[in-house]
A = this chain, B = another copy of it.
Amino acid sequence: MPVSELLTLTDVSACCAPIARAPIASDHAESLARSLKALADPARLRLVSMVAAHEDSEACVCDLTEPLGLSQPTVSHHLKVLVDAGFLTRSKRGIWAYYRLVPGSLDAVAGLLTTV
């Protein structure tokens, strides 16, 4: 299925109530599962965390590889998954790529899980 046909994180958080409020519809479950799957990896959680906690919620890929202790291609793969899922954006400046947390993206997921 092309990405354009999938519900995005923004669609789901805009349309849908928290999952504990009423039984979630099948297409929303698919969409939220995809977002959670993108986060459900220790390396990707650490990458999101490092980017989000960095100054201005933006970090150079050059600052992300060494602390993780993973190869540069592996880190790039994980970053691509996070960009594709809508949690990070990527911009190239000079020789480096910079990753920025998409404002509201983590909160959209948190909002769907919260029961209070």
How far, in whole Å, are A49 and B106 apart by their CA atoms in the complex? Answer: 20
Number of A residues, CB within 8 Å of B? 38
Decide yes or no whether A94 CB sits under 8 A from chain B: no
Picked from B43, B46, B114, the residue with its CB within 8 Å of the CB of A23 is B46
- Distance in Å from the Cβ of A32 to the closest Cβ of chain B? 6
CA separation between A48 and B23, bound complex, in Å? Answer: 9
Q: Which residues of B have CB within 8 Å of A40? A: 33, 36-37, 39-40
Given the complex, which residues of B lie within 8 Å of A44, measured CB to CB?
A: 33
Integer count of this chain's copies in the complex = 2
Residue numbers in B under 8 Å from A113 (CB-CB):
39, 106-107, 109-110, 113
**Chain A positions 60-113 with a Cβ under 8 Å from a chain B Cβ:** 67, 101, 106-107, 109-111, 113
A19 touches B36 (CB 8 A): no
Complex interface: chain B residues within 8 A of A101 (CB): 20, 115
A50 contacts across to B, CB distance below 8 A? 23
A1-45 CB contacts (< 8 Å) to partner B: 19-24, 26, 29-30, 32-33, 36-37, 39-45
